[in-house]
């Protein structure tokens, strides 16, 4: 009970400081409250205040957070605003190895904003990370949802194809990447990268691809 009392006091104190007039914009109050609720939920799930402290050297370490992936996602299609705030919170959990919680944050986000392609894309990436790089039906649904909401944006098909390739689904990745590369501006860095990826896939498949990219 003492552990719960301390957790409650800390949550109340943190919320009070964050919401003190002038300390935090009103638009971020909802995000602050969500972060505290996730913290308390995590304590309820894993916390055990009756256990004595002990070193953790012998425990397995969580897979490192993919910083390059986060930067690439931001460069290609991530937007500022409320969607960005959800993604920052999810990335923070991912950096701690809490991949399930990172995905749950974005599940809550898409429930609030079901027509936000950026959030659906973030959910797809988070689910792939939670599956150790394996494409799940839920992740595939999230990627396709992002593509359906904003069919002209390159971010969703780019990361969808990457997830397919990492899962060993090379033909599926090619079917996503080839049309995307063909509609990107000639000479763009992203198009050059995709053309190289498609060429590598064709080489791996022994020349059984669907032919050269249109406009290459």
Q: Please report the beta strands in the chain, taking only residues with DSSP state E, as ranges in sequence order.
A: none
Look at 126 and 15; give whichever has higher pLDDT. 126
Q: What confidence score (pLDDT) does residue 4 get?
A: 46
First to last CA, the chain: 66
Cβ within 8 Å of residue 160, ≥6 positions away:
124, 140, 143, 144, 146, 147, 176
Average pLDDT over residues 46-62: 44
Global pTM value: 0.62
| pLDDT per position as a tens digit, 24-49 | 455 544 554 555 455 554 544 444 44
Q: What is the pLDDT of residues 100-125, one digit of tens each?
A: 999 999 999 999 999 999 999 999 99
Q: Which residue has the tokens 């308390």?
A: 40
pLDDT at 85: 85
């Amino acid at each position: 009970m003492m552990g719960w009392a301390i957790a409650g006091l800390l949550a109340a104190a943190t919320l009070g400081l964050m919401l003190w007039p002038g300390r935090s914009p009103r638009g971020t109050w909802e995000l602050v409250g969500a972060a505290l609720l996730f913290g308390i939920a995590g304590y309820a799930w894993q916390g055990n205040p009756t256990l004595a402290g002990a070193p953790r050297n012998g425990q397995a370490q969580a897979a490192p957070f993919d910083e390059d992936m986060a930067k690439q996602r931001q460069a290609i299609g991530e937007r500022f605003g409320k969607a960005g705030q959800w993604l920052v919170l999810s990335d923070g959990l991912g950096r701690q190895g809490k991949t399930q919680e990172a995905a749950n944050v974005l599940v809550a986000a898409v429930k609030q904003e079901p027509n936000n392609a950026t959030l659906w894309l973030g959910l797809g990436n988070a689910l792939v990370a939670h599956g150790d790089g394996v494409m799940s039906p839920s992740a595939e649904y999230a990627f396709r949802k992002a593509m359906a909401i904003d069919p002209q944006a390159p971010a969703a098909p780019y990361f969808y194809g990457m997830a397919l390739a990492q899962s060993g689904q090379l033909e599926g990745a090619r079917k996503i990447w080839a049309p995307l590369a063909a509609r990107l501006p000639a000479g763009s860095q992203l198009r050059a990268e995709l053309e190289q990826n498609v060429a590598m896939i064709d080489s791996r498949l022994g020349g059984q691809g669907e032919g050269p990219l249109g406009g290459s």
